[in-house]
Each structure stands twice: as structure tokens, then as C-alpha cells.
Chain A
Amino acid sequence: MSAVLSACNAGDPGSGRLSDIPYESEPYPLREPDRFVRMEIPADNQLTVAGVALGKQLFFDPLLSADSTVSCSSCHLPGRAFTDGQILSRGVAGHRSLRNSPSLLNVGYQTEGLFWDGRVNDLEELIVHPVQDTNEMAGDWTELTTKLRDHPEYPLLFRKAFGIDTVAAIDQELTVRAIAQYLRTLVSGNSRYDRYKAGEVILTASEDRGRRIFFDIEDGVPTSECGHCHVEPLFSGLEYFNNGLDEVYDPKNFPDAGKGGISGRVGEMGSFRTPSLRNVALTAPYMHDGRFATLEEVMDHYVSGGKYSENVHPNVRRLDFSERDKADLIAFLQTLTESEFLKESN
């Protein structure tokens, strides 16, 4: 009789013991584009099929927020390249985030800090913030852990993903690890432009002229300086710059200090991470504060040379562009959309 009870309890989340449920350690087959620098994945959080599945479920689950109304995916919608189309995102109780929601595609390749201001260095650390940010999910990690432990399904998924023996082992660390695993699978490297690079498609005349403008490849088309900061293959050099959004004569007066607010360095005031332009046609509105509604407005900003402050990056300078030049450049940017990937993610 006791043996029967023991066997029942061993795999029963209700009892707190999970040891009879199989631990699934099958590695996740991450497909990385050849042109990308290999993703650095922490040795203690290698991707597994079960870990990624758990992370995906958590990512889309509003349970993570204080009142179960907001999930990670509320501000990072797959159909919008993991942005949300809002100037500032809507969090719990109608609160608004302080900055525009950045795309999460290729976030696993961001080795030079995360968030617009580079305040954290790895995905595991990043995930802690939005869950507890009062303007976003307003959650509490202790309460969330309790909700996950009491959940009818999550203990089984945590066991499969991490091999934990008891429900009590579910904690913040395993939760962020699972979500980080899922985020590392959000790889976008098979756009129309990538297929062009592989010799599989031909760009239209307008797209190709836009490409040449973007990369300053040759004479006969105007110089855009785009490709210096939005570097292939991620279309971001992963660096932080002041791109001339605000006229500021005293570096202490930036409306948002960006990276300088984290580092305290004068030269970094008003600087933000260069966002990837992959899928940029889907990620409006643009800039850290969502001030530009369209790519045309972004184009007008850069053509103007931006506004004055001493630390504006010198590649942001007045450009001699015609309407045709702008249209061609936007046509090229639209080749960076990977719609098939986005359908899969949905």
C-alpha cells in the first residue's frame, strides 16, 4: 500500500514531488544564419526543446503580470517583429512604459548590452526588469513564483525543462532562464535581402539603388551613411550613439539621457543603442521614444542632419537626397522583412 502511494506521489505536482516525470534534455536545434557571428549561449542555460517550449509559454502568459492582464507578448507581438506599434507600451492599469518597445528579433546576438540604454548585459538579467517594472507588468517575483508553483501545468513543464525534483525548486532564476531560451530562438536572417545575398532573388531597380545608397557603395548615388551604424548582418553595429534627435547645448539637459543616464558619462548623454533594421518596416513607430510614425519621417530626420548637440555622432549630417532617393532607400529597407519567420512565430 505504501509503495503504491509513494509511486503516485513521485510524479504528482500536487504533492510537490516531480521526480517521476521525465526530464527532457533534448537540445534545441538553433538555426543560425551563416553570416552571423555565433550566438554566445551561457553554459548553464543551453537551449533545450523543453526549455524553449516553457519559455515560449511563459512569454505569452499574462500570469507574469500583477493582475494577469499583461504578458511579455503584449508589448512584443510576433506579427510586428516583436514590437507593439505603440509610441509607448501600455502596461498594467493603463500605465505607459518610459520608452518605445524594441524588437526582440535577434536579441540573442546583442553582446553589447540590452535595453535602449544598455543597462544589462544578458538576457537572463533583462527579463527580471519588465516583470517587476511598475509601468509594465508591475509584478512581484516572489508572488509570481508562488503562482507558478501552484499552477496546474507549469510544475510539469519546469520539471521537463530543468529536471527539478520538487515544485519548490521553481524560482525566479529558472523562470528567466526559460524565457531567455525562447528569446534566443528568435533569429531573423532569411529576409528577401538575405536571399538576394545568397543569389536566390534579384532586387528591383529601386531596391537595388536603395541598397547602393544605404551602403555608400559607389559614386552615382548619394551617400547616406546608414551602413556605418546599421552594420550587416544584424543591421546594427550594437553600439550606442546620439543620433541628433534633440537640440541640447548642455549635456545635462537631454530629455532622456539614455546610456549616459546609466554610465554618468557626459559623452554618452542622449545616446541609445543602434536598433537593428531587420524587419524595420514592421516596427513603427521609431526611435527610443517612438517619435517618428513612419519610415518617411525617419528619413526626413536623417536628411536634415539632425539637431545640434556636441556629441551627435558625426555620421549624422545633412544629406543631399531627392524624393526618389528616399523612396529607393525605403524600398531597400523593406527587403529586410522576414514575413515567413513572423508567420511561424505566430
Chain B
Amino acid sequence: MKHTPLFFIPILLLSLFITACDQKEEISTGSLEIVFKGTFGNEPLYMFGRSYDYRGDAAVKWQLFQFFLSDLELLGSGNAVKPHMLSAIESVSFGDIQSEEEALEGYALRFNDIETGTYSGLQFGLGVAPELNATQPSDYTPSEPLAQVSSYWEAASSYIYTKIEGNADLDNDGQFGEDEEKLTYHLGASELFQKRTLPVTIDIRENSTTSIVVNVDLLKALENTAEGTFIDFRQTPRDHHKNPDVYNFVITQLRESAISIGN
């Protein structure tokens, strides 16, 4: 009997070790809501019901504006707060925003279980990151963003990074979408994928939801006022990622100029 305690010592130590390993550090978390608000210049952007002036010599009624964001990440602050990956892929679509009220409400994405702290920015890649762009809709369940067959180009083995569709009035006759007034830009390919960082202080507080607004100005995706360059609806009313002058311009403008932190 006197050997019994010695026999139990290794078991006791092992069980203590296992118990210690099992005890996860309690991490306080909160949530983040990113509200994407579309505009066309200074006007709230919504589909179908409203015409927007374009460069003073055309008007357009939009039908669809959507894009993918990859590697959506909160940037950390020094050593205190580590970066937090929010999502590998999200689809932002203004297609169902069809009134001014809905435009002001915006398109919201919500993320939970984020470690509390003060983050220093939001980083994302415009489009579908190359490793995800090598997948196809059948790799996903229907509710996942990349299961959208209408956003996948099977012939090019690529997702469509952005879709911009609408009907224009180019001859000022009050009718939208007559011949050569139909606008479709379906753009994107892996070589155009790049990341963008938006510096912004984001406080994630325990058991509460922080909300930030991201403005998306479709007009800035189509024109660069500083350089005087723009998409000429009369010259190129459509592009299905065949014209580099169009797809390079729009993807770059969308990534670098159109998306900004709002109020």
C-alpha cells in the first residue's frame, strides 16, 4: 500500500497538465458592422429609379453595381492589438438597392467574435484573391459568395470582380437604353488583384457592435478628374474584360479612388 501514492503521482501530474492545457484564455470579443453606402458623385446611388448626370453630356440609370472583396482584415495597433481577418471573401452588391431610403441605409456586412481593442485600419483586396479565383462555384455551398454562378466566367476560369450595368441616355431624348446606350462592364482577372488599406480607428468593445461606414462612389470608378480621364460611354459602352484600357482603368479607380471611409 505504501507505494500507492507514488504510483498516482505521474497520473496526477498528467491530469494537471491536461487541465492546464484545456483552460482557454477568456478573450473578450465584440462585433463589427461595415455599412457600404453607394453614391454617384454626391448623390445617393440606387438602381433603376433615378437618372444620374454623367460629365454634363449624358445621363444614366443604373441597374447593377457589385464587386467582390477578398481578405477583408482589420489592421492591428503595434504589439497591443493583433490583426484580425474578418473574411476571406465577401460580395458587395447594390443591385437590390432601388430607392433613396435603401441607398441611405446601405449594404451591411456583419462580423462577430472580434477580439476587443483599437484597430488601426481596414484592408481588403478588390476582387477575388488569386487562390480563390482558381476555384469555381461548384466548390461552394449555395449560400457562399463564390457559389454565384452569374459572377463566374467559366470560359475564362475566373470570377467577375465587378459588374456595372445600366442604360444611358446619350442623345438627350429622355429615353434610356436605346441601341448603343446600353452599358455593361463585367471586369476582373487575377493579375488585377491588389490590396488597399483604409486607415481608420476602429474600437471593438466587448459584447457590443461597432459600426463603420464605407463610401463607394461609382462615379469615381468611371472617371479620374485629376487626370481628366474617364470611360467614354459612346466609345466603349461595354466591356467583358477584353479591352485593357477599360478594365485596367475601372478596376484601378474602383480600388484606389472609389472606396473610402465615410462618416
Contacts and interface: CB of A to CB of B under 8 A. Distances in A.
A308 B177 contact: yes
Nearest to A234: B149
Given A38-B142, A227-B155, A317 B167 contact: no
Interface stretch (B75-83, B126-134, B181-189, B249-257): B181-189
A267 B47 contact: yes
Contacts of B238: 314
Nearest to A223: B240
Contact of A238 (B150, B155, B167, B179): B150
A121 interface: no
B184 A314 contact: yes
A310 B186 CA distance: 20
B178 A308 contact: yes
State which size class the interface on A falls in. 35 or more
Contacts of B179: 305, 317-318
A191 to B, nearest CB: 15
Contacts, number: 90
A287 to B, nearest CB: 20
B152 interface: yes
Interface in B169-185: 175-180, 182-184
B177 A314 contact: yes
Interface in B113-164: 136-138, 140-143, 147, 149-150, 152, 154-155
Contacts of B40: none
A237 B143 CA distance: 14
Given A267-B47, A317-B182, 12 more contacts: A215-B154, A232-B154, A266-B49, A308-B177, A309-B177, A310-B175, A310-B176, A314-B182, A315-B165, A317-B179, A317-B180, A318-B179
Interface of B: 47-49, 61, 63, 98, 136-138, 140-143, 147, 149-150, 152, 154-155, 165-167, 175-180, 182-184, 186, 238, 240
26 contacts: A34-B138, A35-B138, A36-B138, A37-B138, A38-B141, A111-B142, A215-B154, A215-B155, A217-B155, A227-B155, A231-B152, A237-B150, A266-B48, A267-B47, A267-B49, A305-B179, A310-B175, A310-B176, A311-B48, A311-B167, A312-B167, A312-B177, A313-B63, A314-B166, A315-B165, A317-B182
